[in-house]
Each structure stands twice: as structure tokens, then as C-alpha cells.
Amino acid sequence: MSSNPGVELKGGMYTFMSLKLHTSDMDVIDAKLADKIQQAPTFFKDTPVVIDLTVLEKMESEINTLLLLECVRRHNLIPIVASTIDKSSPMAQSIALPLIDGGVSRSIKEKTSSNTAEGSSEKPDETASSTIDVSPDVDISLSREIEYVVKTPLVIDKPIRSGQQVYARDTDLIVMGPIGPGAEVIADNNIHVYGPLRGRALCGVSGNTSSRIFCQSLEAELVSVAGNYRMLETIPEELRGKPAMVWLDKDRLNIEPL
Amino acid sequence: MTKTIVVTSGKGGVGKTTTSASIATGLAKRGFKTVVIDFDVGLRNLDLIMGCERRVVYDLVNLVNQEASLHQTLIKDKRIENLYILPASQTRDKDALTIEGIARVMHKLKKSEFDYIICDSPAGIEKGAKMALYFADEAIVTTNPEVSSVRDSDRILGILQSESKRSKMNEEPVKEHLLITRYNPARVKEGQMLSVDDIVDLLAIPLLGIIPESPSVLDCSNAGKPVILDDESAAGQAYSDAIDRLLGESKPHRFMEAPKKGFLSRLFG
């Protein structure tokens, strides 16, 4: 066919696992990595990973990148690129991988997380289903990093009837009309409801604990944030039928008037 | 252009057949060539309410299976010019209906230049109900002022949006009308029934009419006469108003207040 261009060079956004190093001790890295991978060997097998050196750079520590890559490959991960703040640092120069700028994405993330603190904006869903726990006492972490992409919210301008279910994958759900009793609205991010909310609303179903539900008239049978739910009976009487926000404070589901 | 209107509700016993009979009769009375189809295959009630049960020879299933012609199956109403009844079969079940078969029937009716096809849906949300609403251009959702009936109506509205031909073909959505039947203002006042405002608020579709609870509905059903033909009764007048609104006229809703008791009824009532 004459319309076949042969090749195309295009920009694209892809999701990769990143290996963030919090230590330069190869023995610790080796042991922690083995421990992580043993939790889900098939999930990690032959997975491309971004080697994130930014924490080490901040700590001004050095690492033998040759040994590091060898260790990563031994665990059946495929290092594809290194993320650094300073491309001219000896560590960045020594690693046999292409480099990407780890400083830029960081500043975007810091900006968005401060927005979330104000309760107003989206946040990249770093805690998606496959996330491996990133507790501060762990020296290294394997976390699934999702590029910060502005995804259009799912907007429903018709009533959602009893028995209907709407799911906004990886994004916000905005419902203009009423949500009937027995209807279910689900989103990976925030849910905004401008009609009366009489059915069930579940936000952050893939684990986004910072997602919230905003509604004009709270009459829901059930509200849930990242799996923490409350039924209508436990919703204080004075909040029912009123504009309200539902959010998660640590493990406590809060409902506040707007 | 033929318009197909389904009368549906989800819940049973709320007045679908009574409504289908009166709406079809009302439209025919205003000069539109109208047919009312009983989709409740296996139960067959419409012919009783229309008072033509003794004249049923062939039925919808025969027509779908091409065992009888349209001309043989349609029953012409004896009271109203332009009004025809297509009865259901009592000996078969809903599995006898297929979309292709119904499509053929609809096509024949359109070719016979009917202005309105009224589809009387069976209760429930199963095959029979889905068949009845599949070809609808408009829907009259019949609701009693009671929580479970309103909930079921909400459910059927969702099905109309997702399972009708219009929704599947991505055409303009089915036009929805709310018809509240068995409305008793006195009981609403006592808080025993949902009010019109509550129901409209819950279902969020335009209100076509409010049919007050009236003994004449049962009397007419027993007599095989659509209640709209009883000009004296409140229910008959309310159906007549609903027809006007269906045809695009705007009319204030009546029968929302409890009738004031007169001197005599206060004395004896």
C-alpha cells in the first residue's frame, strides 16, 4: 500500500517499573531485591526497569554501577534507562545505560502532591494496584511509576439509574445528574456528583487513598475511599441530603460538609 | 411517521395494561390509527380490558411465527374507529418472541400506515419486557406513589437507555414520560404515599400525568372498557389530559389535591 509510511517517529508515554535505590551497599540491595522479587516472581520476571539514582545523588553517595547492573540482571529484571538529576556526575557517567532527567518529573510530582494537600487536584496514581510497599525503613524500593499524564475525566450528563454501573478507569468521574438508589459509580480517582447521590460511590478503587468524593446532596447507600467504606446508617443525620466531601485520613473515612 | 410507544414499569400491578388500553383508545379517539400490542405472552390481559377476549383467534406469537397474516390477527375495536388490538398468546411463553420476528411485525404495521403502536410491556426486566421496549421511540413509565415501584421504574429507565434499539444504534434516545397512577392525595398528605414532587425528583423525567386512584378504574376493567371512555370519572379525565400532553399540548396537572368534602359527604362520609 502506498500509504504505508515505513517508519514513524512519535512521542509516547509509557509506564515502567522503577528501582529506586536508597543505599549503595550492594549486599543490602541484593538481599532486598531478592526479598521483593520472591513475593511475586512471575510478576517481576523480565520486567524492564528504570534505575533511579536520584536518591543516591542527593545523599552524595557513589555506587559501582557495573556491579549494580549485574545484580539487577541476575534477578531477571531488565535495566533500560537510568534516572539521574545530574547527568555529569561520575555515577551517571559510569552507568552503561541511557540517561533520563530524574529532576523534572520530581518537580511535577511535588507540585501535584502539594495541590492534593489543598484537596483540589489530581495526583499521579503512584499507588496503583501493583505497588510494592515503600516504607521508610526499606532501603530500596520497587515502585510502579506512572507518568504524570492529564487524563480527561469521565463526564456523565444523564441520570445513572438503579442497577447501572459506571467506572472511570484511571481518572475522575463527574456525574451531572442524579445517581439512583442501587446504582454504582466507581472511579480510580475522585468522584464529583452534582445531582443527588443516592446509590453507591466508590473512589480510589485501585488503591488511591488520596482520592475523594464530592457531592451536592449526600444520600448515598454507601461511600468508599480506597476500600474503606461507610453505609448510610453510619452517616451522621445532619450531613444527609447536604453537600459533602468524603475523604480518607490515614485509615479513617471522614465525611465533612462542604 | 409511525410512532412506537412502550408502556412499562418494571414492577407488576401498577397499571401498565390499564394505561396501554386508555392511551391507545385516547389516541384513536383523536383520529390516529392506533394499534395496541400485548407483549405479556403467556398471561394475556389486554384483550380483557379492551373487552375483546371472545374475538381472539390468532395472536402475536402466530404473527411472529408467520402462521397468520396481520389482517387475520388484528382485532378491530367495536367502539372506536382506527383502534386495533394485537393480543398475546396464552398458550406460549416469552421465548416464542424474537427480535427478528417482532421487527417483521413492526415493519408490517408501519406499512399499514399506523400512526401509533402502543406496546403493553409485561412486568419484570426479563426477555418479555426487553422485547416490548426494544423498538420504542417513546416510553411511558408507569409508577405508583410507592418506594419499590419508583425504584423499579428507575431500573427500567436504565434498561431503556442501554437495551433499546435507539440506544444500540446510537440514535436519539427514547423519549421518556412519567405517568403516576393510583395517586391518592389524601394518603400523600398523611405521609403514607410518596408525593408527585418526590417521585419526579427521584426519577428526573418529565411528568405526563397523574391518574388518581378511582373506583371507576376497576369498574371499567371488569366491564372490558378502557377507563378513558368514562368521561365522568377523574381517572378518565386524567388519561385524557395525558393524551393532550403526549401530543405536545401543555396542560396544568390536576388531581394533585384531595377533593374538598362537600356538606353532604362531610355529614355522611
> What pLDDT shows up at residue A109?
39
Q: Which B-chain residues 134-153 have CB contacts (< 8 A) with chain A? A: 151-152
Are residues A241 and A180 located together in one domain of the fold? yes
- The answer as to whether A174 is a domain residue is yes
Q: How far is B249 from chain A (nearest CA, A)?
A: 25
> Is there a contact between B154 and A195 if contact means CB atoms under 8 Å apart?
no
Q: How far is CA B251 from the centre of its chain?
A: 20
Are residues A175 and A81 located together in one domain of the fold? no
DSSP state of A141: E
Contact list in B for residue A184 (CB cut-off 8 A) is none
- The answer as to whether A126 is a domain residue is no
Structural element, H or E, at residue A222: strand A222-225
- The answer as to whether A162 is a domain residue is yes
Is A180 in contact with A162 (CB distance < 8 Å)?
A: yes
- The answer as to whether A116 is a domain residue is no
A17 at the B interface (CB within 8 A)? no
Are residues A158 and A82 located together in one domain of the fold? no
Residue ending a domain, choose from A67, A101, A135? A101
| Domain count across chain A | 2
Strand partners, A83: A52, A100
> Is there a contact between A181 and B161 if contact means CB atoms under 8 Å apart?
no
- The answer as to whether A75 is a domain residue is yes
Closest alpha carbon to B97 in B86, B111, B83: B86
| Nearest-angstrom CA–CA distance, B248 and B111 | 25
- The answer as to whether A146 is a domain residue is no
Determine the residue of chain A that is closest to B162 in CA distance: A164
B162 at the A interface (CB within 8 A)? yes
Are residues A181 and A86 located together in one domain of the fold? no
> Is there a contact between A182 and B204 if contact means CB atoms under 8 Å apart?
no
Q: Which of B9, B126, B155 to mutate to test the interface with A (most CBs of A within 10 A)?
A: B155
pLDDT tens by residue, chain A, 258 residues: 456 778 877 776 777 788 888 888 889 999 988 888 888 777 788 888 889 888 888 888 888 888 999 999 999 899 999 988 888 888 888 898 998 887 644 333 333 333 333 333 333 333 333 333 333 333 455 555 544 556 889 999 999 999 899 999 989 999 999 999 989 999 999 999 999 999 999 999 988 999 999 999 999 999 999 988 898 888 888 999 999 999 998 889 999 998
Per the listing, cell 378491530 goes with B76
Contact list in A for residue B159 (CB cut-off 8 A) is 163
A164 at the B interface (CB within 8 A)? yes
**Which CATH number is A202's domain given?**
2.160.20.70
Residue ending a domain, choose from A76, A101, A126? A101
- The answer as to whether A163 is a domain residue is yes
* Cell numbers linked to B181: 397512577
Q: In what order do the strands lie in the sheet with B34-38?
A: B75-76, B83-86, B34-38, B116-120, B3-8, B138-143, B175-183, B207-212
Are residues A96 and A167 located together in one domain of the fold? no
Interface predicted TM-score of the whole assembly (ipTM), two decimals: 0.75
- B155: nearest CB among A163, A178, A196: A163
> Is there a contact between B204 and A159 if contact means CB atoms under 8 Å apart?
yes
Q: At what angle do helices B99-111 and B127-134 cross, to 10 degrees?
A: 30
Are residues A71 and A160 located together in one domain of the fold? no
Per the listing, cell 461511600 goes with A223
Domain that holds residue A183: 154-257
Which runs of E-coded beta strand occur in B52-194?
Answer: 75-76, 83-86, 116-120, 138-143, 175-183
Kindly report, residue by residue over B69-80, the tens digit of the pLDDT: 999 999 999 999
Structural element, H or E, at residue B203: helix B196-203
> Is there a contact between B204 and A162 if contact means CB atoms under 8 Å apart?
no
| Nearest-angstrom CA–CA distance, B118 and B113 | 14
- The answer as to whether A64 is a domain residue is yes
Buried b (16+ CB within 10 A) or exposed e, B149-179: bbbbbbbbbbbbbebbbbbeeeeeebbbbbb
Which residue type does A246 have? V
* Cell numbers linked to A246: 468524603
B157 at the A interface (CB within 8 A)? yes
**Which CATH number is A22's domain given?**
3.30.70.260
